[in-house]
Structure 1
Amino acid sequence: MSDAVWIQITNSSGMFGMILSMTSNCTLLALIMCKASPVKGPYKNILIFFCIFTMFYSSVEMFLRPIIHIYDDTLFVMQRKWFEMSPFVSHFTTTMYCGCYAMSFVLFALQFLYRYVTTCKPLYISLFQGLRFLFWIFGAFCIALSWEAAAFFLFPQSDRTQKMFLYVLKNSYDLDPHFVDYVPYRYVSLF
């Protein structure tokens, strides 16, 4: 299947995915918030935050319509813009996707850590209660922001990546370069 056909498939299914995500997460939030819900304590807070973040991530995904493409020694994280943006805003929103991607893994890890603590070390459940829960969320935000900052500052666009980017857009996707921005993760060999 060609890359251009894949773009058409993602265009068609993107809105459906966002609607499905919003509907299922709102339903889950309503069930969690219900007084009869069996979910209690810190796990309830983790699930609520996870649902809210998932809806935000779905919105970011729909807004950016990302494409991840590997060419030569570079992984391109590209966004297909809906409208013209300044280069700074465009690059910042593309790196925001990288931060959201990192945050999703951190939240999965947090959920599994909590499950481990409740099952194997129940004495430490207090580490997830009250204000301490906010420290876990703050830590997750810090990791996501560090990933976004790394993408923004450590992987700049260069003449070489710009040529590769234009080549990929022309030969693979047939997209207008004015409405696509990218973050180039270049692999650099130390040997």
Structure 2
Amino acid sequence: MIWLHIIQYSGFFLAQITNSILVYLILTRAEKLFGTYRHVMCTFAMYSLVYAWIEVFTQPVMHIKGPCFIVFMNSPLKYHSWIGNIITCLYCGSFALVISLLAAQFFYRYVALCRPELHSKIEGFKLIYIFIPCLICFVLWFAFVYYGMANTPEKQIYMKEELETYYGEDSTRVAFIAPMYWSVGEDGKKDWKIKELIGSGGCACIIAICFSTILFCASSIYFTMKSAQSHLSTKTLELNRQLFVTLTFQTVLPFLMMYSPVGLLITLPLFEVYIGSIANIVPASAALYPALEPLIAMFCIKDFRKFILYISPEWR
């Protein structure tokens, strides 16, 4: 637990530094390079700052036992159930905003390169339209968690011994959310909990839809860039290549550090795979993610990289 807290606080402070630097670079050096797209990039970077605050307010701890996967709060607010459960749900919902904002960035690049006739529809104040699906994803994920994985007396009793043994916590006091896919009745048969299954299935669907959008847009952008090499200037091609590489790595990173591990944690209880406190690799990884993500843009985008490395003007 000590190491987990060290990682969570370190991730928080580093995220404030790296994301603030990226926001500064976008605001001061990206206007001529990216046009309106800089607003999309800046929104994603600023949200990473917010995500880090939500994460540190939650300080989540995760555990799997039988058909139950629990995420409980371990911050100083953990015994204030009236706010603790809401913040824990916000933490879970923030996963939807990360992946949906990445999908929004890919969609913007797709329109700019592959469907230029539609570009005017997302310029200026109309840019807000591409963020509406992101908010919908967040609200849906929050609802799936809040209603489908709610803190109940049955789950408190089921996880009581585990939380006391591993973490010295009282399951009846600490704020948590947990999908519990079934319980065993007096006759020994499994009583499947449809609401819990819908909640987890809904979260998995949001991930699948967002990643499908990213894959479609990424493949379209790649083939458009490849076929347009003879029509675009070297400078334009290089800029689009840098943005494409940046977005690709920005998608691979959360896929490895957040969504694949979270997908496993949602799935493993269905097969009663006991991994106990090893599940805390996931919150540790998710705490480091917002600190690492800005580094991709800083070093994949040439102008940002030169600024960070203090390369003199004659090198440009």
- TM range, smaller chain: 0.7 to 0.9
Q: Structure 2 vs 1, CA of residues 72 and 36 (structure 1 numbering), >3 Å: closer, same or farther?
A: closer
State the identity as a percent: 23
Determine whether 1:8 maps to 2:2.
Answer: yes
Match of 1:145 in 2: 139
Give the structure 1 partner of residue 14 of structure 2: 20
* Pair 1:81 & 2:75 matched: yes
Partners in 1 of 2:172 and 2:110 — Cα distance? 48
- How many Å apart are 1:164 and its aligned residue? 2.4
Runs of 5+ unmatched residues, structure 2: 183-191, 195-316
Question: For 2:120 and 2:166, how far apart are their aligned partners in 1?
Answer: 52
- 2:129 aligned residue: 135
- Does the 8 Å CA contact 2:160/2:170 hold for their aligned counterparts? no
Q: Which amino acid aligns with 1:180?
A: V
The one-letter code matched in structure 1 to 2:76 is: W
Flag the structure with higher helix content.
2
- For 2:78 and 2:61, the matched residues in 1 are separated by 18
Shift of residue 46 of structure 1? 0.8
User: What is the aligned length?
Assistant: 184
Q: 1:102 to 1:173 in 2, by over 3 A?
A: same
CA distance in 1, matches of 2:171, 2:156: 10
**TM-score of the aligned structures, taking structure 2 as reference length:** 0.53
Name the larger-Rg structure.
Answer: 2
What root-mean-square deviation, in Å, do the aligned CA atoms of Structure 1 and Structure 2 show?
Answer: 2.2
Distance (whole Å) between structure 1 residues aligned to residue 62 and residue 108 of structure 2: 32
What is the one-letter code of the residue matched to 1:94? T
Please say if 1:102 is aligned against 2:103: no
Residue in 1 that maps onto 2:215: none
Give the conservation status (yes or no) of the 8 Å contact 2:12–2:53.
Answer: yes
- Identify which range, 76-85 or 136-145, moves more after superposition: 76-85
Instruction: Name which of 32, 45, 49 aligns with 2:26.
Output: 32
* Equivalent residue, structure 1, for 2:159: 165
Q: How does the TM-score come out when normalised to structure 1?
A: 0.84
Unaligned runs of 5+ in 1: 1-6
